[in-house]
Amino acid sequence: MQTASMNTKERMQEKWDKRPLIISGPCSAETEEQVIETATRLANTGKVDMLRAGIWKPRTKPGMFEGKGVVALPWLLQAKKITGLSTTVEVATAKHVEDALQFEVDMLWLGARTTVNPFSVQEVAEALRGVDIPVLIKNPINPDLELWSGGIERLHKVGVKQVGMIHRGFSSYGNTEFRNAPMWHLPIEMKRRFPGMPLICDPSHICGNRTMLQSVAQKSIDLDFDGLMIESHIDPDNAWSDAKQQVTPERLLEMLTGLVWRSENTTEPEFITALSTLREQINQVDDELLTLLGQRMKLSDKIGQYKKENNITILQTNRWNDILERAFKKGEALGLTKEFIVKYFDAVHMESIQHQNKVMNS
Ligand code: PEP
Ligand code: MN
């Protein structure tokens, strides 16, 4: 509960600990009126904790709107004073950090195009040495977890105590459904690597459009993310950047109200008993699957031996096609998707090839 006697630091700590943490605001700060009206309408929703706005915009092509720069920082400070919303901006250089701190920005974030560049991350990190401010780091634009982890380590090394992650999806040639493919297994792996570190989802940059925002936000909640960063604008269609993906503060409220919030744990005894019974059954099935896979590979070893004796290649494309066709038919009847069958059999097939390779070359 916010109280009048709380100082800025305490207020920010409270936000940092809040679940879910909701961050919203325009892709870019455009004018003072736009920032203040957006902030006011966001505060009126009663559901938003922090105001975001891009001040310096890393644009793909020259000539696109590159942000208002430092002149926009007083607008954010003013919006904070009027609404009580804490503020957060993207920083990519030491100068950005210095400017943002001067205008009492409460939290900083590193954008996807910064995380991808260790020189830039290090420069920002050095500027943060000895500064007590929370920092979120977006995933790099490419699906490289080492770069993402490396960025976190650079921030930890200079002494930033509160580091969090933002999942904004991964770009690749030919992305169609999403602007940036979510590749959910990657943020899940980051959660495993950095237990307890806040992980926020940015559905706006994953989707690139308004229609899928809610379903992507729901998916992140179902995966136990700690909050959301969603772009909002008083006149989305006429936004100076990312017009297609922004929503009005009122639409944001509708979306947030429509989400089903779940918690990771419960103390409800019936639920715990039912869950542990089902998990026990899953463990049994997993054990059986592993035993069967072990047996399958023993058969591959035997086949490898025959192929070696008869000087036959390991890979026979027709056989591989037959295996997949059989699996698709069987899998469909069992409710397994084609996508899963391909991934699973690919993995089994590669393991089998490795086994045969070992036998052949021994
Ligand atoms: C942004 O949040 O406006 C932004 C530039 O995002 P990203 O770094 O994810 O591209
Ligand atoms: Mn944007």
The vertex-169 CA angle with 165 and 172, nearest 5°, equals 140
Rounded distance between C-alpha atoms, residue 165 and residue 202, angstroms: 10
Ranking 200-204, 240-244, 253-257, 322-326 by mean pLDDT, the lowest is 322-326
Which residue among 55, 89, 113 has the greatest number of ligand 1 atoms within 8 angstroms of its CB, and so is best to mutate?
Answer: 113
Chain centre distance of CA 61: 24
50 within 8 A of 232, measured Cβ to Cβ = no
Ligand 1: residue whose CA is nearest its atom 1: 27
Sequence letter at residue 30? E
What per-residue confidence (pLDDT) applies to 158?
A: 98
CA of 14 to the centre of ligand 1 (A): 25
- Residue 344 clears pLDDT 90, i.e. is over it: yes
Residue 270 tokens, joined:
């019936």
CA-wise closest residue to 167 among 140, 194, 146: 140
Which residue among 23, 24, 55, 168 has the greatest number of ligand 1 atoms within 8 angstroms of its CB, and so is best to mutate?
Answer: 168
Ligand 1: residue whose CA is nearest its atom 10: 112
Report which of residues 9 and 40 the model is more confident about.
Answer: 40
pLDDT > 90: what percent of the chain?
86
- Taking the CA of 241 as reference, the closest ligand is 2
- Residue 6 clears pLDDT 80, i.e. is over it: no
67 within 8 A of 114, measured Cβ to Cβ = no
Residue 79 tokens, joined:
């919006």
What per-residue confidence (pLDDT) applies to 2?
A: 60
Residue 82 CB neighbour total at 10 angstroms: 12
Helix (H) or strand (E) holding 250: helix 249-258
- Taking the CA of 240 as reference, the closest ligand is 2
CA of 262 to the centre of ligand 1 (A): 27
| Residue whose pair of structure tokens reads 């105590």 in the numeric block | 161
- Ligand 1 is surrounded, with C-beta below 6 A, by 27, 54, 90, 111-113, 138, 168, 205
Rounded distance between C-alpha atoms, residue 168 and residue 207, angstroms: 9
What per-residue confidence (pLDDT) applies to 209?
A: 97
Rounded distance between C-alpha atoms, residue 155 and residue 108, angstroms: 12
What per-residue confidence (pLDDT) applies to 33?
A: 98
Ligand 1: residue whose CA is nearest its atom 6: 111
- Residue 3 clears pLDDT 70, i.e. is over it: no
Q: pLDDT, tens digit, for every residue of 248-288?
A: 999 999 999 999 988 878 888 999 899 999 999 999 999 99
Q: pLDDT, tens digit, for every residue of 104-150?
A: 999 999 999 999 999 999 999 999 999 999 999 999 999 999 999 99
List residues, by chain if needed, whose CB lies under 5 Å from ion ligand 2.
27, 242
| DSSP at 158 | T
Rounded distance between C-alpha atoms, residue 141 and residue 361, angstroms: 41
Rounded distance between C-alpha atoms, residue 90 and residue 55, angstroms: 7
Q: pLDDT, tens digit, for every residue of 279-331?
A: 999 999 999 999 999 999 999 999 999 989 998 888 778 888 899 999 999 99
What per-residue confidence (pLDDT) applies to 316?
A: 79
323 within 8 A of 299, measured Cβ to Cβ = no
Q: State which ligand 1 atom lies nearest to the alpha carbon of 169.
A: 9
Q: Which domains does the chain have, with CATH numbers?
A: 2-258 (3.20.20.70), 269-360 (1.20.59.10)
- Residue 15 clears pLDDT 90, i.e. is over it: yes
Q: Are strands 107-110 and 227-231 parallel, antiparallel or unpaired?
A: unpaired
Rounded distance between C-alpha atoms, residue 338 and residue 324, angstroms: 10
Extract the runs of DSSP E, i.e. beta strands, from the chain. 21-25, 50-52, 86-90, 107-110, 135-138, 163-167, 199-201, 227-231
